[in-house]
Amino acid sequence: RLRSAPVTVRFVTNTTKESKRDLLDRLTGLGFDIAEHEIFTSLTAARNLLEQQQVRPLLLVDDKALADFTGIGTDNPNAVVVGLAPEHFHYEMMNKAFR
């Protein structure tokens, strides 16, 4: 019904554990009729903000989420993006982020 209604359809999530593409694959595998541009994640919001502010982040996100930041410069970071990535939360990385 939503598809035939005069509304914009979006699938919104706060997940930071997987890329938009992985999420799309999982949802279509469950039978959802969905396009990638209809998915909005917290990583989408983070990327948009990085682009607007023109900053270079240290990405503390799961390796599976890195694809959502393709093309974003990360050399000499001046910002930090934090997602659900327990394997990256160790003393060395936290020290790097705080610096």
The mean predicted confidence, pLDDT, of the chain is: 93
Statement: residue 88 has pLDDT above 90: no
State the pTM of this model: 0.85
Compute the distance between CA of residue 95 and CA of residue 24 in angstroms, rounded to an integer: 34
The reply to whether 6 falls in a domain is no
- How many separate domains does the chain show? 1
Owning domain of residue 32: 11-98
Contact indicator for 5, 32 with CB cutoff of 8 Å: no
What confidence category does residue 89 fall into, taking pLDDT thresholds of 50, 70 and 90? confident
Report pLDDT for 65.
Answer: 95
The reply to whether 72 falls in a domain is yes
Report pLDDT for 42.
Answer: 95
Report pLDDT for 86.
Answer: 86
The reply to whether 5 falls in a domain is no
CATH of the domain at 68: 3.40.50.1000
Per-residue pLDDT, averaged over 68-94, amounts to: 92
The reply to whether 45 falls in a domain is yes
E-only strand ranges, 14-90? 39-41, 57-60, 79-82
CB atoms within 10 A of CB 96: 12
The reply to whether 88 falls in a domain is yes
What confidence category does residue 48 fall into, taking pLDDT thresholds of 50, 70 and 90? very high
